[in-house]
Amino acid sequence: MNLLDILFPKRCVGCGRIGTYFCEKCRGRIRYIAANEAICPMCGHSAIDGATHPGCRTRYGLDGLTSFFRYDGPIRKAVQSVKYRLITDLVTEFVSLVPQSSVVDTSAADYFLPMPLHASRLKSRGFNQAEVLGTAFAARLHIPVALDILRRVRATAPQVAMKTREDRLNNMKHVFQAARTIQNDHILLFDDVFTTGATMRAAANALKRAGAKYIWAVTMAR
Ligand SMILES: [Zn+2]
Ligand SMILES: [Zn+2]
């Protein structure tokens, strides 16, 4: 055990027990999303393998969604811990919890694209949790990460604070901008949590308008 482990012992994100970030008991409480529980990222209803329903397809929309965990219990706490403080070991352990069997198909993907934060948010937080998690995950999948393609040009109120669907749509207008033109790229768009999906749909819209061909959303939880 080194000095850092003594000063800052690993604590379970679920229950606080010292030893690992995910103790055995809390690992047992993690709820995985089964293949038959996948949803369409455009309407939120169940969909085979998470592929967007043919009727929900739009020219600039998302093509599908893969999420690994339910956003509750130890996973919710892990996401919040990652957001709160940068702990590399925790990120590595978190990413390693994704079962090999549910790892996304990367054969046609050009790169992983973590959702960007607005510059002001990045400054106050010091790091982008989606980038940290996404980079670790992409390393596991052996695919490159792209950090210079999408920019978040407008800060927004949290989507959960928006009462109506119209408010949510307006809140997402002109939030993202592609930093350059994209040549028919096949992108895995990554975020920590998929909630309403409005943010990821807005990002997909900007990327497809810039030339992206195919965008599959990947999130740790939903
Ligand atoms: Zn625990
Ligand atoms: Zn749908």
| Per-residue confidence in pLDDT tens, the chain, 222 aa | 566 666 778 999 999 999 999 999 999 999 999 989 999 999 999 999 999 999 999 999 999 999 999 999 999 999 999 998 888 899 999 999 998 877 788 888 999 999 999 989 899 989 999 999 999 999 999 999 999 899 999 887 766 667 777 777 677 778 999 988 898 899 999 999 999 999 999 999 999 999 999 999 999 999
CA of 54 to the centre of ligand 2 (A): 8
Q: Is residue 2 part of a domain?
A: no
**Amino acid at the residue 165:** R
**CATH number of the domain within which 168 lies:** 3.40.50
Residues with CB under 5 A from ligand 1 (ion): 12, 14-15, 17, 23, 26
Token pair 């052996």 in the structure block, residue:
142
The beta-strand segments (E) located in the chain are: 64-69, 111-114, 150-152, 176-178, 186-193, 214-221
Predicted confidence at residue 164, as pLDDT, reads: 77
CA of 56 to the centre of ligand 2 (A): 5
| Rounded alpha-carbon distances, angstroms, from residue 103 to 33, 128, 176, 219 | 12, 22, 27, 11
Q: 3-class DSSP state for residue 156?
A: coil
The sign of the torsion formed by the CA atoms of 62, 75, 165, 169 equals negative
What is the domain extent for residue 69?
Answer: 30-221
Q: Is residue 18 part of a domain?
A: no
Q: Is residue 7 part of a domain?
A: no
Q: Is the CB of residue 189 less than 8 Å from the CB of residue 205? A: no
Q: Is residue 22 part of a domain?
A: no
CA of 23 to the centre of ligand 1 (A): 4
Q: Is residue 60 part of a domain?
A: yes
Q: Is residue 8 part of a domain?
A: no
Strand partners, 73: none
Residues with CB under 5 A from ligand 2 (ion): 40, 42-43, 53, 56
Predicted confidence at residue 11, as pLDDT, reads: 93
Q: Is residue 34 part of a domain?
A: yes
- As for how many domains the chain has, the answer is 1
